[in-house]
Structure 1
Amino acid sequence: MVSTYTANLAASLTAESLQSPIDSAKDLAKQTDIEYGCLNGGSTCKFFQNSEDVIYQQMWNNMATNPKVFTKSNPEGIQRVVNSKGGYAFFMESTSIEYVIERNCGLAKIGGELDSKSYGIGLRKGSPYTNELNGALLKLQEAGVLHKLKTRWWKEKGAKNCAASRNAPTQAKPLTLANVLGVFVVLIAGLFLATIMAFIEFIWSSRKLFMNKNVDMLSQLKNEAASSFSRRGIKSNLGAGNSMRSIHSGYFTPRLSRRGTRNKASLILNKFC
């Protein structure tokens, strides 16, 4: 029983350190323990509101019926995630999330992108600079300049190398009294049951003492208890007639018809006692 408990304890501790409760937006929709929200009136909020996906519609209905999950700004949502300690999730643009999690190692991006849209530069309709800007941005993207700029300002300037700390192996949590309390409970319960069974067995083996009225019950119980805990204890056979034995100097001698034979038996017993 103790071995089974120890094996189950090790398995539960391993699963606790490896299992993540939320891996995607669909996992959030299937549970009710963790609240989730977004910037009120932002693009992410509009995405959920106008989405035709069943899961996203369900999530929007949950957020709409609980207005307190909405925030007035992205920093407010980030701070609520930090303060909730795993009880709140905040939806935000992926580019902003990547910037934040490089500077706060206690935050993480869960799952993939809900929707993919590119940033653009707004110009007046029919502006003569539209084609020139499109051509310049395309050349910068092909040359890798945009990627270098993002790496410089997202992952280098002010970043804390949080990716390395997240990929590092997690340390095992120390065992507390609550983790091993069951072992002591099982041990104490086993000792208690063993004591009861030993007492019942002792009473059952001494049942003849209670049936014989000519025997000093207290002294005989003491002798029975002594014989139970010692290999050299004195045992008495409470039979009747010729099978009755008498005590002589700490050992038993059978009642024999001839005195010489009885003394011979006594000498043999003395030799081996």
Structure 2
Amino acid sequence: MTFGIAILYKVPEKAPPHLLTFMEPISLTVWGTIIASVVVVSFGMYIFSRFSPTEWENPFPCQENYGFLENQFNLSNAFWFSVGSIMQQGCDIMPKAPSTRIIAIAWWLFTLIIISSYTANLAAFLTITTLSDTFKSAEELEAQTEVTYGCKKNGNTCSFFENSKIPLYQRMWERISTSPDAFSSDTNEGIARVRDGNYAFLMESPYIQYNTNTDENCELTQVGPPINSLSYGIGLKTGHEYRDRLSSIILSLSEKQDLLELYNKWWKVNDNKCGIFVFLIGGLGIAIVILCIEVLVYAVKRSKQDRMSTCEILSLWLKSSVKGTFPASTSNNSLDRYSMSLQGKMTLSSARPSITQAIKEEDEPQSEQTNKRQENTTTSIILTPSQI
């Protein structure tokens, strides 16, 4: 395992808010994933609603014999539902089928967690009074004079700077050796001085990473990369019988990346934000299963009512879902008209009355509607005088 000497410092206060500060609580990757989730959920609601029998309804409930059913979840309404939910504004269009409701529940839980996390982080970003970083590397640390830096007295880090031939580290050692407050008696004292502020402690990077990852107050951080590269080893007596075996085992663990896994387990902090996205995908998967069950139950029920086979009902339903309109009944004249429209013999607009005509018929008195029906069904014969 390799390591190096790095700089332990107290977490600096952040810079003042800028124009795009509202985007900083969430990384660009998460922002992109959220936008992709909106698109996926919108298309999911659109597709599932078209294939779900429950989402199709009569647009004119007062006309029980209206020939066709319509679906409220077109593509624009599906996007409006998704965006309204994530903005926590709601929507006047709500799903009715079990499959689309499962998608809505998963999406609402997803938006609840995302918005809650974003709001909490944004509040922290906007309320912290901030200052800029004092230094970001060993070169900047050596060049500044505001922050005192040092290391453990008579330790390996102290020996490294004392014996270094590099001009930068020689200048750093000159300042450390001449400053009475630069040295710390042990590592714990150095970390405590870092917490007090205005002090940078030079120590081995694995110790820094371990302390920063286990710091409950999140006050410690490593500034810049390690300034050198060294390797750990196991000390044994000269000519020890286990020397070659231990070297072979360590080499094997390194080749199999077992040492890397142990390093990631104990030194790395896994900030996994994929759980909520996995839950959303799981909700879509459950909705697919519910949709299949819903369509099968509907097909079996309609096949018994209309004396048609289940396969015929499913075939007609799939065609109508893709086309976007479905007849209210599969056993009356609307089925014939719909079949003709699918075959291109009759356009869909000619097979269904216009909205204006339907409203006009609703407003007409019953007597006038009866007279019109009689006029349409009665044949009049007019004779001219010559024929008489």
TM-score w.r.t. length of structure 2:
0.36
TM-score normalized by the length of structure 1: 0.50
Larger radius of gyration: 1
Flag the structure with more relative contact order, 1 or 2, with Cα contacts below 8 A and sequence separation at least 6: 2
